[in-house]
Amino acid sequence: MLFRSGDNLFNEAKQFCTDSELLWLYSPFIRVAKLIEIIDDPSKCKAIVVRWQTMDLLVGVSDFEELYSYCIKNKIKLLRNTNIHLKAIRNERNSIFFGSANFTNMGMGQTTFNIELSGKCEVTSSKDIQYLNQILIESHEVTKDYFDLLKNDIDEKKQTFKEIKRIKDKNIQSKIDTKFLLDTLPQSHSPNKLWEIYNSYFNQNEFSKQELECAKSDIITYEISQNNNKEQFLNQLTEGFNNNLFIKALKAELRSKYNSIMGYTQVTEWIANTTLSVPTPSRFDIRDEKWVDRIHNWLPVLDNENFWSEKRHPNGSDLLHYIGKEPITLASFINKMRIDKARGSEAPHQYILLTALYELYKVKENNIEFNKITNSFNKNWRNFNQLFPSKTSNYAMPINAFLNRELISAVFYNKNEKIKDQRNEIELINKIESIVINKELLSLFEVENLSSDTIMSYYKG
């Protein structure tokens, strides 16, 4: 049986200790408060092995003086082994409770916790018993002299050690949300086939075992309740399907294409690169299992205002079309922008230009004097240049890229002027009087609540 964090892990660990007469505990990080919660009688505990690397103690990820005092008070042998990574409790019968969880609140907490997994088994192999005993033998006993020397060393290092404060994790959900399980995609042939099976009350005489299993999976995935009429069924199916993260990601990918079209092979390859299913399927597996065929049968039915399936076999690849008018998002805009890459690697210049234009848009400027754009570009380059491998802050290249994509328009001093050297900043300064932000870029700025930090978070994000 598996013991899961936030569910049964803490209680099972506590029960293991209660049912044991003697205990040996191994854990890199330990909080005394958690030991008090788990071990019903500390006199049972014969030894505790902790990692106590210097950095562990400087950062404070494991109790130090508190654990030493706890062991002295309860006559527990405290051992230090800077190489241990295992987390386990062993008893006198050589039963072992082991897994990924440290004996801390984050490891074995009940309300706030890391995602952990543990189990229990009987150790019968002499090699396994020897392995556990050898850890005890090779560890250093923390006597009073040993502790005093270690404490002095830690106290000395604290004088020069800069405290590492808790830093909020970077929000990379936009990247994580692009990976999902294949089983959350439609498994039934079509929404109509799913309704037929549902309406028949999963009649085994009318449908194959595979059809019934696929239908049951779709009913669960798209959260269809029982005893619906057809209208209710289709409303729930439409909502569940269109709110599915995998489907939403596919729609965003399709909208991001210049021509708003994805061929059969493109969709297949995107699914293969995006899914988190294990083992990772090849595009041939996805083709053979007809995942893309079913998307063609579902998407235009359940979102027909925005998507259309063009089935061109046997003369060509089936195509998915985006035909809707959903507002542009920063994510879809960036996906388009990333098609323009410098020698295969992503350059920061267009991101910086986007931040510069947005800052000028915020102060209600549309027909913008060219020198204001160059000043804003250079300011933002200085603010974010620690992110860039490139040190060349050339604004001519991104301006020309935006001009070519008609995101902006240039007002020239001389109406007959043209840009000859797209890398030459001086030429742009001498020829361009002002820049106008065009409709697509304006719609992005109007719809999304942006900031320079938000835009730059997509750079190599």
Residue finishing a domain among 271, 303, 322: 322
Which range (26-40, 262-276, 305-319) has the least confidence?
305-319
Output the CA–CA distances (angstroms, integers) from residue 398 to 81, 295, 382, 384, 455, in the order listed: 55, 37, 16, 16, 15
pLDDT score at 377: 92
Residues 194, 50 share a domain: no
Angle value at C-alpha 22, between 24 and 132, nearest 5 degrees: 30
Task: Tell me the CATH number at 103.
Answer: 3.30.870.10
Task: Tell me the CATH number at 431.
Answer: 1.10.10
pLDDT score at 314: 61
pLDDT score at 172: 45
Specify if 437 maps to a domain: yes
Q: What is the mean pLDDT of residues 383-389?
A: 79
pLDDT score at 406: 82
Q: What is the mean pLDDT of residues 188-215?
A: 94
Whether residue 106 is predicted with pLDDT greater than 70 in this model: the reply is yes
Specify if 168 maps to a domain: no
Specify if 169 maps to a domain: no
Q: What is the mean pLDDT of residues 67-96?
A: 94
Which range (10-24, 27-41, 168-182, 354-368) has the least confidence?
168-182
Specify if 175 maps to a domain: no
Which range (108-117, 143-152, 350-359) has the least confidence?
108-117
Output the CA–CA distances (angstroms, integers) from residue 222 to 82, 128, 147, 216, in the order listed: 49, 47, 58, 10
Residue 280's CB is within 10 A of a number of other CB atoms, namely 11
Residue finishing a domain among 160, 191, 211: 160
Residues 106, 235 share a domain: no
Which range (82-91, 170-179, 244-253, 407-416) has the least confidence?
170-179
Specify if 461 maps to a domain: no
C-alpha R_g of the chain: 31
Whether residue 293 is predicted with pLDDT greater than 50 in this model: the reply is yes
If one compares 325 and 275, the residue with the highest pLDDT of the two is: 275
Which range (66-75, 276-285, 334-343) has the least confidence?
334-343
Q: What is the mean pLDDT of residues 70-75?
A: 95
- In eight-state DSSP terms, residue 45 is E
121 sits in which H/E element: strand 117-122
Task: For residue 115, give the nearest of 218, 38, 269, 9 by alpha carbon.
Answer: 9
- Predicted structure pTM score: 0.45
Residues 365, 311 share a domain: no
Specify if 197 maps to a domain: yes
Q: What is the mean pLDDT of residues 278-295?
A: 88
The distance from CA 28 to its chain's CA centroid, rounded to whole angstroms, is 27
Residue span of the structural domain in which 413 resides: 331-456
Residue finishing a domain among 267, 289, 322: 322
Specify if 13 maps to a domain: yes
Residues 341, 313 share a domain: no
Residues 358, 284 share a domain: no
Whether residue 394 is predicted with pLDDT greater than 90 in this model: the reply is no
Specify if 302 maps to a domain: yes
Q: Kindly indicate the confidence band of residue 163, based on its pLDDT and cuts at 50, 70 and 90.
A: low
Q: Kindly indicate the confidence band of residue 393, based on its pLDDT and cuts at 50, 70 and 90.
A: confident
Whether residue 448 is predicted with pLDDT greater than 80 in this model: the reply is no
Residues 361, 342 share a domain: yes
Query: What is the number of domains present in the chain?
Result: 3
Mean pLDDT of the chain: 86
pLDDT score at 336: 66
Q: Kindly indicate the confidence band of residue 174, based on its pLDDT and cuts at 50, 70 and 90.
A: very low
Residues 301, 336 share a domain: no
Whether residue 185 is predicted with pLDDT greater than 80 in this model: the reply is yes
Residues 400, 300 share a domain: no
Residues 38, 110 share a domain: yes
Residues 111, 205 share a domain: no
pLDDT score at 176: 47
Which range (160-169, 172-181, 405-414) has the least confidence?
172-181
Yes or no: say if 294 and 189 are a contact pair by the CB < 8 Å rule.
yes
Residues 341, 316 share a domain: no
Whether residue 90 is predicted with pLDDT greater than 60 in this model: the reply is yes
Q: Kindly indicate the confidence band of residue 178, based on its pLDDT and cuts at 50, 70 and 90.
A: very low
Residues in the chain: 461
| Burial track 227-263 (b if 16+ CB lie within 10 A, e otherwise) | ebeeeebbebbeebbeebebbebbbbbbbbbeeeebb
Whether residue 91 is predicted with pLDDT greater than 80 in this model: the reply is yes
pLDDT score at 315: 57
If one compares 280 and 389, the residue with the highest pLDDT of the two is: 280
Q: What is the mean pLDDT of residues 301-319?
A: 81
Residues 149, 43 share a domain: yes
Q: Kindly indicate the confidence band of residue 179, based on its pLDDT and cuts at 50, 70 and 90.
A: low
Which range (68-82, 151-165, 195-209, 396-410) has the least confidence?
151-165
Q: What is the mean pLDDT of residues 320-346?
A: 68
pLDDT score at 342: 41
pLDDT score at 168: 58
Q: What is the mean pLDDT of residues 445-453?
A: 79
Q: What is the mean pLDDT of residues 192-204?
A: 94
90 sits in which H/E element: strand 87-91
